[in-house]
A and B are shown apart, each in its own frame.
Chain A
Amino acid sequence: MTGSLAKTPSNRVVILGALSAIAMATARIYAAEGAALMLVARNADRLKGLADDLRTRGAVQVETAVVDLEAAAADAPALMAVWKTRLGGLDHVHVIYGYLGTQEKATSDPAELARITSSNYSTAVQWCEAAANIMRAQKRGSVIAISSVAGDRGRQSNYAYGAAKGGLALYMQGLAHSLAPTGVRAVAVKPGFVDTPMTDGLKKGGPLWASPEKIGKIVRRAADKGGPVQYAPGIWRMIMLVIRTVPSFVFHKTKL
């Protein structure tokens, strides 16, 4: 932490689910720019390690908050206000946490289905709305949520997750519309296949798999530029257009 106190941060950024691979890649870009960061996740030791990393890489201020984001969503407005105070202002909020789960389990276990819905949609929108309300008042800033290409068409293999992520994207689209007069940005980023521990077990490799670093760059850029729904990388816009267009009588013959 060399001479950090005197410097003015480039941006003041809250990252929810800061320990995910995509969040970490995004945070490193902000750190190199000299941002002030509030990292929120459940594991205190891991947050400390990440905070050291980001300070070393150039963040002028790194704060951490140990919070279960699903359990604490009802307190979102109050917590968001506290974090804004700790950072001395609020420029960007990234809602990155989520839960993949398995469709098989969700089909038979109500708790799994509830967790998938809560993590990826119903609590996520609480945090987005709390952030948006602060920004609406200050007429400045951005709220960026991680959705998924799985949200573009319901598929037998992951429709619980897909529906929640798809709902989140729809929410962000509406939020962007409502914030348009204020100049505040709301964006849903929809990654395709990302090579993270969450997907370890799947067969990887090939042109459609992206690194968390590549997605991080898109997520960081989405805070400043682009429309309310952004595919990451952009090729997925075309792929999903095709997938949405396939008629059901064909689609239902696939195992996707």
Chain B
Amino acid sequence: MSTRFHPSDTLASWGRVVKARHLVARPRFPDEIGELISGFSPDAPGLAVGLRRSYGDSNLNPEGHIIDMTGLDRMISFDRETGLICAEAGVSFSQALQLLAPAGWFLPTSPGTRFVTMGGAVANDIHGKNHHAAGTFGASVTRLKLWRTDGVAQEVGPGDPLFHATVGGLGLTGIIEWVEFRAVRIPSTEVEGEDTPFENVSEYFDIAAEKKDRYEHTMAWVDCATGGSHLGRGILSSANWYQHGGLTAHREEPRRKMPIDAPSFAINSLTVRAFNSIRHELKTMRAGPYRQHYEPFLYPLDAIGGWNRLYGARGFYQYQCVLPPDTARDGVVELLKTIVASGQGSTLAVLKDFGPNPPVGLMSFPREGTTLALDFRNQGEATLKLMADLDQIVASAGGRLYPAKDGRISAALFQSGFPKWQEFREHVDPGLSSAFWRRVSA
């Protein structure tokens, strides 16, 4: 095996629950990929990773080889007339926006952090607040270059079976060298939005249905610490691009950094309750139209570098499911009731309705329905028990979980949630694997 791999005990996913040893290589040029993957095999599989914002174990390969792709961060081309842009797999959304935004273009969609790579965006077929209008990132990808561990590199695009396996394919179908996609025009780099409070789950569904036709971006924050008649109270944010503002990119550096892990008592049921109550009051007071730059609107948490350390040294779990339209209302109520009853309240809980856009990848997570995203400080057994209870509700509602957020679901729940997983398996490169894949494909 290449001497370019160095042992590391510090590589972790964003949730920081799993701490394992990996052998890590950091190439800086595409011509290094071939040599690095030449030693990967079914007995010693490798995995390419980006900025490691996936929370669970889909970006981990304990005791195995990891290729950190962030050194492949060159722009290849950008046509300011058509918005067609091509970039190496390690280019971050943040870097791409530095180029796109001042020229009046934007990413077709973006998750709640700009610190994801092109390769990661494809591998997780990421979605954003505009899913109901724009679909997933994969819908805008026109071509990509993929290396298989047998040494063959090829360009694939929409229509090629390998392309549709690679979009949402968790990096298991090959190493992505570069990605070409269509950016979208924006009239300014500001959004004009409003916050609408709702008092319970039922009100959420009514308001969300009404807003989605008028707003390109929607998402709701939900209070997971309050039950009874206020179960699922929260605030729905909706926004459109402002027609008349200027074109300025965000500041590249986070404004603040978490220098150390927070002590474990920093996030507990009391602080979660207080945080949620205060947030509810503040947002309610601000209800009504506002205008702001895209950065605080799309990337509120990016303002604090390493915010994941707020959850302390034991890390935290994310839990994100999607429920089909006909079971979503009852299912969300059940999920929230279970969380409130557990007293483990999620600090950040987000509700959003996905649109009917057909999935691009065999394994794309988004489907028509409602998605609920939660995070729970790792409290060991109690947290695992709560999430197992939530799994039951998701399974009986015919929903599924987002692999990028998961580090523990059973093979059964994964396989029932992703009916095309066996078709996908045919495209998996035998020299690539992850802790997630070994668990769910068993």
Contacts and interface: CB of A to CB of B under 8 A. Distances in A.
Interface residues of B, number: 18
Contacts of A21: 28
A211 to B, nearest CB: 11
A2 B26 contact: no
A217 to B, nearest CB: 11
B26 A200 contact: yes
Interface in A9-24: 19, 21
A197 B72 CA distance: 12
Contacts of A57: 75, 99
Contact of A52 (B75, B79, B80, B99): B75
B80 A2 contact: yes
Given A52-B74, A56-B99, A57-B75, A201 B28 contact: no
Given A56-B99, A57-B99, A49 B80 contact: no
Given A56-B75, A56-B76, A57-B75, A49 B6 contact: no
A205 interface: yes
Contacts of B79: 2
Given A2-B80, A56-B76, A57-B99, A197 B31 contact: no
A46 B99 contact: no
B299 interface: no
Interface in B41-86: 71, 74-81
A7 B378 CA distance: 56
Interface residues of A, number: 16
Nearest to B85: A56
Given A49-B74, A53-B75, A57-B99, A197 B80 contact: no
B31 A45 contact: yes
A50 interface: yes
A161 to B, nearest CB: 20
B76 A53 contact: yes
A207 to B, nearest CB: 9
Interface in A42-69: 43, 45-46, 49-50, 52-53, 56-57
Contacts of A200: 4, 6, 26
A45 B32 CA distance: 12
A205 B31 CA distance: 28
Contacts of B356: none
Contact of A46 (B29, B76, B78): B29
A235 to B, nearest CB: 16
A201 B74 contact: no
Nearest to B24: A200
Contact of B71 (A2, A49, A197, A205): A197
A201 B6 contact: yes
A88 to B, nearest CB: 24
A145 to B, nearest CB: 22
A194 to B, nearest CB: 13
Q: Is the interface of A mostly helix, strand, loop or mixed?
A: helix
Nearest to B79: A2
Interface string B354-390: 0000000000000000000000000000000000000
B396 interface: no
Nearest to A205: B10
A56 B78 contact: yes
A49 B73 CA distance: 11
Pick the most buried of B26, B28, B30, B80: most chain A CB atoms within 10 A of its CB: B28
Pick the most buried of B29, B74, B78, B99: most chain A CB atoms within 10 A of its CB: B74
B79 to A, nearest CB: 8
A56 B77 contact: yes
A157 to B, nearest CB: 19
Nearest to B3: A201
A76 to B, nearest CB: 27
A19 B30 CA distance: 13
A2 B75 CA distance: 14
A49 B77 contact: no
Contacts of B78: 56
B30 to A, nearest CB: 7
A52 B31 contact: no
A46 B31 contact: yes
A53 B6 contact: no
A56 B86 CA distance: 10
Contacts of B71: 197
A200 B32 CA distance: 15
A100 to B, nearest CB: 15
Interface in A200-238: 200-201, 205
A247 B99 CA distance: 52
A21 B27 CA distance: 11
Contacts of A205: 10
Contacts of B99: 56-57
Interface in B69-116: 71, 74-81, 99
B51 to A, nearest CB: 14
Contacts of A197: 26, 28, 71
Nearest to B30: A49
Interface in B197-235: none
A56 B91 CA distance: 13
Pick the most buried of B71, B75, B78: most chain A CB atoms within 10 A of its CB: B75
A228 to B, nearest CB: 29
Nearest to B31: A45
Contacts of A52: 74-77
27 contacts: A2-B79, A2-B80, A21-B28, A43-B29, A45-B31, A46-B29, A46-B31, A49-B30, A49-B74, A49-B76, A52-B74, A52-B75, A52-B76, A52-B77, A53-B75, A56-B75, A56-B76, A56-B77, A56-B78, A56-B99, A57-B75, A57-B99, A197-B26, A197-B71, A200-B6, A200-B26, A205-B10
4 A-B pairs with the lowest CB-CB distances in the bound complex, closest first: A53-B74, A56-B75, A53-B75, A56-B78
Given A49-B76, A52-B75, A200-B6, 19 more contacts: A2-B80, A19-B29, A43-B29, A45-B31, A46-B29, A49-B29, A50-B74, A52-B74, A52-B77, A53-B75, A56-B75, A56-B99, A57-B75, A197-B26, A197-B71, A200-B4, A200-B26, A201-B6, A205-B10
